[in-house]
Amino acid sequence: MSAATPPRGTVRLAADRCKGCELCIPACPPAVLSMSDQRNVQGFRVPALRTGCTGCGACLLVCPDFCFEVYRFEEGGNA
């Protein structure tokens, strides 16, 4: 069994609102966002999330199209 650090957060992306501007990519402190080859209904490439999101909310703040919902996980997970 590995002792990997449990995820601290995640994001949900409203991909169909994305304009592919890529502002969120450098804004993510742990650099877990990258542009994928996937295109949305408007034909724009959309970001993909790798593991390691901290739930910091930087992507939510920078995205001009309000694509992100950010979730932060509680430590201990008793809820």
Task: Identify the three-state secondary structure at position 63.
Answer: coil
Q: Considering the complex, state which of residue 25 and residue 77 has its C-beta at the smaller distance from ligand SF4.
A: 25
11, HSE (Cβ side, Cα atoms, 13 Å):
27
Q: Which residue ranges make up the site for ligand SF4 (CB under 6 A)?
A: 9, 11, 18-24, 27-30, 32-33, 47, 49, 53-59, 62-63, 65, 67, 70
Shortest Cβ distance from residue 63 to ligand SF4 (Å)?
3
For residue 4, count other CB atoms closer than 10 A to its CB: 7
Q: Considering the complex, state which of residue 1 and residue 44 has its C-beta at the smaller distance from ligand SF4.
A: 44
Q: Considering the complex, state which of residue 9 and residue 73 has its C-beta at the smaller distance from ligand SF4.
A: 9
The alpha-carbon radius of gyration of the chain (Å, integer) is 14
